[in-house]
Amino acid sequence: MTSTAGGEHQALREAVRDLCSRFDGAYWRECDEKRAYPEAFVLALTEAGWLSALIPEAYGGSGLGVTEASVILEEVNHSGGNSGACHAQMYVMGTLLRHGSEAQKRRYLPDIAAGKLRMQSFAVTEPTTGSDTTKLKTVAVRKGDRYVVNGQKVWTSRVQHSDLMLLLARTTPLDQVKKKSEGLSVFLVDLRASIGHGMTVQPIRNMPNHETNEVFFDGLEVPAENLIGVEGQGFRYILDGMNAERILIAAECVGDGHWFTERAVKYASERVVFDRPIGRNQGVQFPIARAHVNVEAADLMRFKAAHLFDAGQPCGAEANMAKLLAADASWEAANACLQTHGGFGFAAEYDIERKFRETRLYQVAPISTNLILAYIGEHVLGIQRTY
Ligand SMILES: Cc1cc2nc3c(=O)[nH]c(=O)nc-3n(C[C@H](O)[C@H](O)[C@H](O)COP(=O)(O)OP(=O)(O)OC[C@H]3O[C@@H](n4cnc5c(N)ncnc54)[C@H](O)[C@@H]3O)c2cc1C
Protein backbone atom coordinates (compact mmCIF):
# COMPACT_ATOMS: atom_id res chain seq x y z
CA MET A 1 0.00 0.00 0.00
CA THR A 2 1.54 3.31 -1.01
CA SER A 3 0.40 6.82 -0.43
CA THR A 4 -1.96 8.10 -3.10
CA ALA A 5 -0.67 11.63 -2.49
CA GLY A 6 3.00 11.12 -3.32
CA GLY A 7 2.88 8.97 -6.46
CA GLU A 8 5.33 11.16 -8.38
CA HIS A 9 8.34 10.18 -6.32
CA GLN A 10 8.47 6.49 -7.16
CA ALA A 11 12.15 6.31 -8.16
CA LEU A 12 13.22 8.09 -4.98
CA ARG A 13 10.94 5.90 -2.88
CA GLU A 14 12.29 2.72 -4.39
CA ALA A 15 15.92 3.74 -3.86
CA VAL A 16 15.32 4.56 -0.17
CA ARG A 17 13.24 1.40 0.30
CA ASP A 18 16.04 -0.63 -1.22
CA LEU A 19 18.52 0.76 1.32
CA CYS A 20 16.09 0.30 4.21
CA SER A 21 15.47 -3.34 3.27
CA ARG A 22 19.01 -4.04 4.53
CA PHE A 23 17.88 -2.92 8.02
CA ASP A 24 14.98 -5.15 8.92
CA GLY A 25 12.84 -5.53 12.03
CA ALA A 26 15.50 -7.65 13.72
CA TYR A 27 18.07 -4.84 13.27
CA TRP A 28 15.83 -2.16 14.83
CA ARG A 29 14.71 -4.57 17.55
CA GLU A 30 18.28 -5.26 18.55
CA CYS A 31 19.09 -1.54 18.69
CA ASP A 32 15.98 -1.04 20.82
CA GLU A 33 16.83 -3.87 23.19
CA LYS A 34 20.42 -2.70 23.63
CA ARG A 35 19.39 0.99 23.72
CA ALA A 36 21.97 1.38 20.98
CA TYR A 37 22.23 4.09 18.35
CA PRO A 38 21.47 2.69 14.85
CA GLU A 39 24.95 3.65 13.66
CA ALA A 40 25.15 1.26 10.69
CA PHE A 41 21.82 2.51 9.36
CA VAL A 42 22.71 6.22 9.74
CA LEU A 43 26.06 5.57 8.09
CA ALA A 44 24.41 3.82 5.13
CA LEU A 45 21.86 6.64 4.75
CA THR A 46 24.70 9.20 4.89
CA GLU A 47 26.90 7.35 2.40
CA ALA A 48 23.99 7.07 -0.02
CA GLY A 49 23.69 10.87 0.19
CA TRP A 50 20.11 10.92 1.48
CA LEU A 51 20.90 12.94 4.60
CA SER A 52 22.43 15.74 2.54
CA ALA A 53 19.35 16.03 0.34
CA LEU A 54 18.76 19.65 1.35
CA ILE A 55 22.36 20.85 0.88
CA PRO A 56 22.68 22.79 -2.40
CA GLU A 57 24.77 21.19 -5.15
CA ALA A 58 27.27 24.06 -4.92
CA TYR A 59 28.24 22.72 -1.47
CA GLY A 60 28.28 19.06 -2.46
CA GLY A 61 24.70 18.11 -1.63
CA SER A 62 21.91 17.02 -3.94
CA GLY A 63 19.93 20.28 -3.75
CA LEU A 64 16.55 18.62 -3.33
CA GLY A 65 13.54 20.26 -1.70
CA VAL A 66 11.72 19.61 1.54
CA THR A 67 9.19 17.58 -0.48
CA GLU A 68 11.85 15.04 -1.48
CA ALA A 69 13.49 15.14 1.95
CA SER A 70 10.12 14.32 3.49
CA VAL A 71 9.68 11.37 1.12
CA ILE A 72 13.07 10.00 2.26
CA LEU A 73 12.09 10.13 5.95
CA GLU A 74 8.62 8.77 5.22
CA GLU A 75 10.13 5.74 3.52
CA VAL A 76 12.49 5.11 6.44
CA ASN A 77 9.54 4.97 8.83
CA HIS A 78 7.34 3.07 6.37
CA SER A 79 10.05 0.41 6.20
CA GLY A 80 9.78 -0.14 9.97
CA GLY A 81 12.79 2.02 10.84
CA ASN A 82 12.98 5.22 12.86
CA SER A 83 14.09 8.49 11.27
CA GLY A 84 14.36 10.02 14.74
CA ALA A 85 17.94 8.77 14.81
CA CYS A 86 18.98 11.25 12.14
CA HIS A 87 16.15 13.52 10.91
CA ALA A 88 17.46 16.67 12.60
CA GLN A 89 20.26 17.17 10.08
CA MET A 90 17.49 17.89 7.59
CA TYR A 91 15.41 20.13 9.75
CA VAL A 92 18.18 22.28 11.19
CA MET A 93 19.82 22.68 7.79
CA GLY A 94 17.60 25.63 6.83
CA THR A 95 18.95 27.78 9.69
CA LEU A 96 22.50 27.45 8.39
CA LEU A 97 21.48 27.71 4.72
CA ARG A 98 19.29 30.77 5.10
CA HIS A 99 21.07 32.66 7.87
CA GLY A 100 24.64 31.37 7.99
CA SER A 101 27.47 33.40 6.46
CA GLU A 102 29.16 32.28 3.26
CA ALA A 103 32.26 31.44 5.31
CA GLN A 104 30.21 29.21 7.67
CA LYS A 105 28.55 27.43 4.76
CA ARG A 106 31.88 26.85 2.97
CA ARG A 107 33.45 25.61 6.18
CA TYR A 108 30.77 23.08 7.16
CA LEU A 109 28.40 22.15 4.34
CA PRO A 110 30.83 20.27 2.04
CA ASP A 111 32.00 18.11 4.97
CA ILE A 112 28.41 17.46 6.07
CA ALA A 113 27.49 16.52 2.50
CA ALA A 114 30.51 14.20 2.29
CA GLY A 115 29.47 12.48 5.52
CA LYS A 116 32.60 13.66 7.37
CA LEU A 117 30.61 15.81 9.80
CA ARG A 118 27.21 15.35 11.39
CA MET A 119 25.04 18.32 12.31
CA GLN A 120 22.10 16.62 13.91
CA SER A 121 21.70 18.19 17.30
CA PHE A 122 19.51 21.10 18.24
CA ALA A 123 19.42 22.55 21.78
CA VAL A 124 16.35 24.68 22.43
CA THR A 125 14.18 23.12 25.17
CA GLU A 126 15.03 23.87 28.81
CA PRO A 127 13.81 22.09 31.93
CA THR A 128 12.24 25.08 33.70
CA THR A 129 10.65 26.87 30.74
CA GLY A 130 9.50 24.09 28.34
CA SER A 131 7.26 25.27 25.49
CA ASP A 132 7.67 28.91 26.60
CA THR A 133 10.83 29.17 24.53
CA THR A 134 11.44 32.90 24.73
CA LYS A 135 11.82 32.62 28.53
CA LEU A 136 14.75 30.23 28.22
CA LYS A 137 17.51 30.92 30.71
CA THR A 138 20.72 29.77 29.04
CA VAL A 139 22.85 32.86 28.45
CA ALA A 140 25.68 33.62 26.07
CA VAL A 141 27.77 36.65 27.02
CA ARG A 142 30.21 38.20 24.56
CA LYS A 143 33.79 38.39 25.90
CA GLY A 144 36.18 39.63 23.21
CA ASP A 145 36.26 37.18 20.31
CA ARG A 146 34.08 34.57 22.06
CA TYR A 147 30.78 34.02 23.80
CA VAL A 148 30.67 32.39 27.22
CA VAL A 149 27.67 30.12 27.69
CA ASN A 150 26.07 29.16 31.01
CA GLY A 151 22.83 27.30 31.56
CA GLN A 152 21.10 24.03 30.92
CA LYS A 153 19.13 22.30 28.19
CA VAL A 154 17.00 19.17 28.28
CA TRP A 155 15.96 16.64 25.63
CA THR A 156 18.91 17.62 23.45
CA SER A 157 18.88 14.68 21.06
CA ARG A 158 21.75 12.95 19.22
CA VAL A 159 24.48 14.99 20.95
CA GLN A 160 26.52 11.83 21.44
CA HIS A 161 26.35 11.08 17.71
CA SER A 162 26.82 14.52 16.26
CA ASP A 163 29.79 16.80 15.58
CA LEU A 164 27.86 20.05 15.46
CA MET A 165 24.95 21.40 17.45
CA LEU A 166 22.74 24.45 17.02
CA LEU A 167 22.23 26.26 20.30
CA LEU A 168 19.61 28.89 21.12
CA ALA A 169 20.71 31.11 24.00
CA ARG A 170 19.80 34.53 25.36
CA THR A 171 22.34 37.24 24.53
CA THR A 172 20.34 40.22 25.84
CA PRO A 173 18.48 39.86 29.16
CA LEU A 174 14.70 39.55 28.87
CA ASP A 175 14.11 42.79 30.83
CA GLN A 176 16.26 44.75 28.34
CA VAL A 177 14.39 43.83 25.11
CA LYS A 178 11.22 45.39 23.67
CA LYS A 179 9.78 42.03 22.57
CA LYS A 180 10.52 38.79 24.38
CA SER A 181 11.36 37.13 21.05
CA GLU A 182 14.31 39.52 20.70
CA GLY A 183 17.71 39.07 22.32
CA LEU A 184 18.01 35.35 21.54
CA SER A 185 20.85 34.12 19.33
CA VAL A 186 21.76 30.92 17.50
CA PHE A 187 25.26 29.45 17.70
CA LEU A 188 26.92 26.63 15.86
CA VAL A 189 28.63 24.64 18.61
CA ASP A 190 31.47 22.33 17.67
CA LEU A 191 30.76 19.42 20.00
CA ARG A 192 34.21 17.92 19.53
CA ALA A 193 35.78 20.98 21.16
CA SER A 194 33.00 21.53 23.70
CA ILE A 195 32.10 18.28 25.48
CA GLY A 196 34.31 18.11 28.54
CA HIS A 197 35.32 21.77 28.11
CA GLY A 198 32.42 23.65 29.69
CA MET A 199 29.74 21.31 28.36
CA THR A 200 28.61 18.05 29.95
CA VAL A 201 26.08 15.57 28.66
CA GLN A 202 23.83 13.39 30.79
CA PRO A 203 21.80 10.77 28.83
CA ILE A 204 18.07 10.42 29.59
CA ARG A 205 16.63 6.94 29.38
CA ASN A 206 13.27 7.32 27.67
CA MET A 207 10.29 5.44 26.20
CA PRO A 208 11.46 5.01 22.61
CA ASN A 209 15.13 4.26 21.96
CA HIS A 210 15.91 7.93 21.37
CA GLU A 211 19.41 9.24 22.04
CA THR A 212 18.48 12.30 24.07
CA ASN A 213 20.19 14.14 26.90
CA GLU A 214 20.40 16.79 29.54
CA VAL A 215 23.15 19.24 28.65
CA PHE A 216 24.89 21.53 31.11
CA PHE A 217 26.92 24.60 30.14
CA ASP A 218 29.41 25.92 32.66
CA GLY A 219 31.52 28.61 31.05
CA LEU A 220 31.50 27.00 27.59
CA GLU A 221 33.44 29.22 25.17
CA VAL A 222 32.04 29.51 21.65
CA PRO A 223 34.06 31.51 19.08
CA ALA A 224 32.16 34.68 18.04
CA GLU A 225 32.51 33.59 14.40
CA ASN A 226 30.11 30.71 15.24
CA LEU A 227 27.22 33.10 15.81
CA ILE A 228 24.67 32.50 13.05
CA GLY A 229 23.28 35.65 11.47
CA VAL A 230 22.70 38.74 13.58
CA GLU A 231 22.98 38.67 17.38
CA GLY A 232 19.54 38.87 18.99
CA GLN A 233 17.60 37.63 15.94
CA GLY A 234 17.98 33.90 16.63
CA PHE A 235 14.39 33.19 17.62
CA ARG A 236 13.21 34.32 14.17
CA TYR A 237 15.76 32.00 12.52
CA ILE A 238 14.55 29.07 14.60
CA LEU A 239 10.91 29.85 13.75
CA ASP A 240 11.84 29.94 10.05
CA GLY A 241 13.11 26.39 10.31
CA MET A 242 10.09 25.09 12.15
CA ASN A 243 7.86 24.75 9.12
CA ALA A 244 10.36 22.35 7.55
CA GLU A 245 10.56 20.43 10.80
CA ARG A 246 6.76 20.10 11.00
CA ILE A 247 6.55 18.85 7.40
CA LEU A 248 9.35 16.31 7.86
CA ILE A 249 7.83 14.95 11.07
CA ALA A 250 4.41 14.77 9.39
CA ALA A 251 5.96 12.64 6.66
CA GLU A 252 7.53 10.30 9.23
CA CYS A 253 4.11 9.90 10.84
CA VAL A 254 2.58 9.13 7.45
CA GLY A 255 5.25 6.45 7.00
CA ASP A 256 4.47 5.04 10.44
CA GLY A 257 0.74 5.16 9.69
CA HIS A 258 1.17 3.10 6.52
CA TRP A 259 3.41 0.61 8.33
CA PHE A 260 0.77 0.10 11.06
CA THR A 261 -2.17 -0.25 8.69
CA GLU A 262 -0.31 -2.69 6.43
CA ARG A 263 0.64 -4.85 9.41
CA ALA A 264 -2.94 -4.71 10.67
CA VAL A 265 -4.41 -5.64 7.27
CA LYS A 266 -2.08 -8.63 6.94
CA TYR A 267 -2.78 -9.95 10.40
CA ALA A 268 -6.55 -9.32 10.17
CA SER A 269 -6.61 -11.33 6.94
CA GLU A 270 -4.53 -14.24 8.28
CA ARG A 271 -5.51 -14.67 11.91
CA VAL A 272 -8.40 -17.11 12.23
CA VAL A 273 -10.49 -17.08 15.41
CA PHE A 274 -14.01 -18.51 15.67
CA ASP A 275 -13.34 -20.25 12.30
CA ARG A 276 -12.87 -17.08 10.22
CA PRO A 277 -10.30 -14.34 9.66
CA ILE A 278 -10.72 -11.70 12.35
CA GLY A 279 -10.79 -9.01 9.62
CA ARG A 280 -14.27 -10.21 8.62
CA ASN A 281 -15.55 -8.65 11.82
CA GLN A 282 -16.50 -5.01 11.36
CA GLY A 283 -15.19 -4.30 14.87
CA VAL A 284 -11.71 -5.27 13.63
CA GLN A 285 -11.87 -4.07 10.03
CA PHE A 286 -13.39 -0.62 10.44
CA PRO A 287 -10.80 0.87 12.84
CA ILE A 288 -8.10 -0.14 10.35
CA ALA A 289 -10.06 1.36 7.45
CA ARG A 290 -10.66 4.58 9.38
CA ALA A 291 -6.99 4.88 10.30
CA HIS A 292 -6.05 4.41 6.64
CA VAL A 293 -8.45 7.19 5.60
CA ASN A 294 -6.92 9.55 8.15
CA VAL A 295 -3.33 8.74 7.17
CA GLU A 296 -4.19 9.44 3.53
CA ALA A 297 -5.89 12.73 4.42
CA ALA A 298 -2.91 13.81 6.53
CA ASP A 299 -0.64 12.96 3.62
CA LEU A 300 -2.48 15.39 1.35
CA MET A 301 -1.91 18.21 3.85
CA ARG A 302 1.74 17.20 4.18
CA PHE A 303 2.26 17.49 0.40
CA LYS A 304 0.34 20.75 0.27
CA ALA A 305 2.60 22.18 2.98
CA ALA A 306 5.76 20.77 1.36
CA HIS A 307 4.91 22.18 -2.08
CA LEU A 308 4.20 25.62 -0.59
CA PHE A 309 7.47 25.48 1.35
CA ASP A 310 9.49 24.58 -1.74
CA ALA A 311 7.77 27.35 -3.72
CA GLY A 312 8.89 29.84 -1.05
CA GLN A 313 5.27 30.54 -0.09
CA PRO A 314 4.00 31.03 3.48
CA CYS A 315 3.06 27.61 4.87
CA GLY A 316 2.86 27.97 8.66
CA ALA A 317 -0.80 26.96 8.81
CA GLU A 318 -0.38 24.00 6.47
CA ALA A 319 2.86 22.75 8.07
CA ASN A 320 1.30 22.83 11.54
CA MET A 321 -1.94 21.22 10.35
CA ALA A 322 0.02 18.51 8.55
CA LYS A 323 2.02 17.72 11.67
CA LEU A 324 -1.09 17.56 13.85
CA LEU A 325 -3.12 15.46 11.39
CA ALA A 326 -0.28 13.05 10.67
CA ALA A 327 0.70 12.58 14.32
CA ASP A 328 -2.95 11.89 15.20
CA ALA A 329 -3.36 9.53 12.24
CA SER A 330 -0.22 7.52 13.00
CA TRP A 331 -1.27 7.22 16.64
CA GLU A 332 -4.75 6.07 15.59
CA ALA A 333 -3.17 3.53 13.21
CA ALA A 334 -0.82 2.37 15.98
CA ASN A 335 -3.76 1.69 18.28
CA ALA A 336 -5.76 -0.09 15.56
CA CYS A 337 -2.73 -2.23 14.73
CA LEU A 338 -2.04 -3.14 18.34
CA GLN A 339 -5.69 -3.98 18.99
CA THR A 340 -5.89 -6.10 15.84
CA HIS A 341 -2.93 -8.16 17.02
CA GLY A 342 -4.47 -8.85 20.41
CA GLY A 343 -1.89 -10.22 22.82
CA PHE A 344 0.73 -10.73 20.11
CA GLY A 345 0.88 -6.97 19.57
CA PHE A 346 2.65 -6.76 22.91
CA ALA A 347 5.36 -9.24 21.97
CA ALA A 348 8.58 -7.44 21.01
CA GLU A 349 9.24 -9.74 18.04
CA TYR A 350 6.27 -8.26 16.14
CA ASP A 351 7.86 -4.77 16.27
CA ILE A 352 4.44 -3.21 16.90
CA GLU A 353 5.05 -2.25 20.51
CA ARG A 354 8.37 -0.65 19.47
CA LYS A 355 6.81 1.37 16.66
CA PHE A 356 3.90 2.21 19.01
CA ARG A 357 6.36 3.80 21.46
CA GLU A 358 8.23 5.55 18.67
CA THR A 359 5.21 7.17 17.01
CA ARG A 360 3.70 8.24 20.36
CA LEU A 361 6.50 10.77 20.71
CA TYR A 362 5.07 12.93 17.92
CA GLN A 363 2.06 13.96 19.99
CA VAL A 364 4.57 15.82 22.21
CA ALA A 365 7.76 16.59 20.26
CA PRO A 366 9.04 18.62 18.57
CA ILE A 367 5.87 20.56 19.38
CA SER A 368 2.93 19.29 21.39
CA THR A 369 -0.53 18.96 19.89
CA ASN A 370 -1.96 21.64 22.20
CA LEU A 371 0.59 24.19 21.08
CA ILE A 372 -0.34 23.53 17.44
CA LEU A 373 -4.02 24.01 18.27
CA ALA A 374 -3.12 27.25 20.07
CA TYR A 375 -1.23 28.39 16.93
CA ILE A 376 -4.18 27.56 14.66
CA GLY A 377 -6.65 29.23 17.02
CA GLU A 378 -4.66 32.42 17.31
CA HIS A 379 -2.76 32.85 14.05
CA VAL A 380 -5.04 31.12 11.54
CA LEU A 381 -8.49 31.71 13.01
CA GLY A 382 -7.79 35.00 14.78
CA ILE A 383 -9.20 33.99 18.18
CA GLN A 384 -7.65 35.43 21.35
CA ARG A 385 -4.45 33.86 22.61
CA THR A 386 -5.27 31.23 25.24
CA TYR A 387 -2.09 31.65 27.30
C1 LIG B 1 12.40 12.10 23.10
C2 LIG B 1 12.40 13.59 22.98
C3 LIG B 1 13.31 14.21 22.13
C4 LIG B 1 13.37 15.60 22.06
N5 LIG B 1 14.35 16.21 21.30
C6 LIG B 1 14.53 17.54 21.40
C7 LIG B 1 15.66 18.17 20.78
O8 LIG B 1 16.47 17.51 20.09
N9 LIG B 1 15.87 19.49 20.99
C10 LIG B 1 15.01 20.25 21.75
O11 LIG B 1 15.25 21.44 21.88
N12 LIG B 1 13.92 19.69 22.33
C13 LIG B 1 13.67 18.36 22.18
N14 LIG B 1 12.59 17.77 22.80
C15 LIG B 1 11.72 18.60 23.63
C16 LIG B 1 10.32 18.79 23.04
O17 LIG B 1 10.37 19.70 21.97
C18 LIG B 1 9.43 19.24 24.19
O19 LIG B 1 9.27 18.14 25.07
C20 LIG B 1 8.11 19.76 23.73
O21 LIG B 1 8.27 20.93 22.98
C22 LIG B 1 7.18 20.03 24.91
O23 LIG B 1 7.84 20.81 25.89
P24 LIG B 1 7.88 20.32 27.41
O25 LIG B 1 8.25 18.89 27.41
O26 LIG B 1 8.70 21.26 28.18
O27 LIG B 1 6.36 20.39 27.88
P28 LIG B 1 5.67 21.62 28.61
O29 LIG B 1 5.89 22.88 27.84
O30 LIG B 1 6.01 21.59 30.04
O31 LIG B 1 4.14 21.19 28.43
C32 LIG B 1 3.60 20.07 29.14
C33 LIG B 1 2.20 19.81 28.61
O34 LIG B 1 1.38 20.95 28.83
C35 LIG B 1 0.81 21.40 27.61
N36 LIG B 1 0.79 22.87 27.62
C37 LIG B 1 1.78 23.72 27.99
N38 LIG B 1 1.39 24.98 27.82
C39 LIG B 1 0.12 24.95 27.33
C40 LIG B 1 -0.82 25.92 26.93
N41 LIG B 1 -0.55 27.24 27.01
N42 LIG B 1 -2.01 25.52 26.45
C43 LIG B 1 -2.32 24.19 26.37
N44 LIG B 1 -1.45 23.21 26.71
C45 LIG B 1 -0.26 23.59 27.19
C46 LIG B 1 1.70 20.87 26.51
O47 LIG B 1 0.97 20.69 25.32
C48 LIG B 1 2.19 19.55 27.11
O49 LIG B 1 1.29 18.52 26.78
C50 LIG B 1 12.47 16.38 22.82
C51 LIG B 1 11.51 15.76 23.65
C52 LIG B 1 11.49 14.39 23.74
C53 LIG B 1 10.49 13.75 24.68
**302-313: pLDDT as tens digits:** 999 999 999 999
- pLDDT (tens digit per residue) in 18-64: 999 999 999 999 999 999 999 999 999 999 999 999 999 999 999 99
Average pLDDT over residues 83-104: 94
Cα–Cα dist 99/92, whole Å: 11
Instruction: State residue 240's pLDDT score.
Output: 83
Which of ligand 1's atoms lies nearest the C-alpha of 124?
A: 11
- Would you say residue 216 has pLDDT above 80? yes
User: Is residue 56 lining ligand 1, measured as CB closer than 6 Å?
Assistant: no
Predicted TM-score (pTM) of the model is: 0.97
Q: How far is the CA of 40 from the centre of ligand 1 (A)?
A: 30
- Would you say residue 6 has pLDDT above 70? no
Q: How far is the CA of 371 from the centre of ligand 1 (A)?
A: 9
Q: Which of these, 182, 184, 194, lies nearest to 223 by C-alpha position?
A: 194
User: Is residue 44 lining ligand 1, measured as CB closer than 6 Å?
Assistant: no
User: Is residue 161 lining ligand 1, measured as CB closer than 6 Å?
Assistant: no
Instruction: State residue 59's pLDDT score.
Output: 97
Closest residue by Cα to atom 13, ligand 1, is 155
Q: Which residues pair with 233 in a beta bridge?
A: 184
CB-based contact 66:244 (threshold 8 Å): yes
Residue type, 86: C
User: Is residue 124 lining ligand 1, measured as CB closer than 6 Å?
Assistant: yes
Q: How far is the CA of 334 from the centre of ligand 1 (A)?
A: 21
User: Is residue 123 lining ligand 1, measured as CB closer than 6 Å?
Assistant: yes
Average pLDDT over residues 84-95: 92
- pLDDT (tens digit per residue) in 183-206: 999 999 999 999 999 999 999 999
Active-site residue (options: 231, 245, 252, 296)? 245
Strands 121-123 and 164-170: parallel
Q: Mean pLDDT across the chain, nearest whole number?
A: 96
Q: At what angle do helices 352-360 and 25-34 cross, to 10 degrees?
A: 70
User: Is residue 128 lining ligand 1, measured as CB closer than 6 Å?
Assistant: no
Q: How far is the CA of 193 from the centre of ligand 1 (A)?
A: 29
Q: At what angle do helices 234-270 and 316-340 cross, to 10 degrees?
A: 30
Does residue 225 carry a catalytic annotation?
A: no
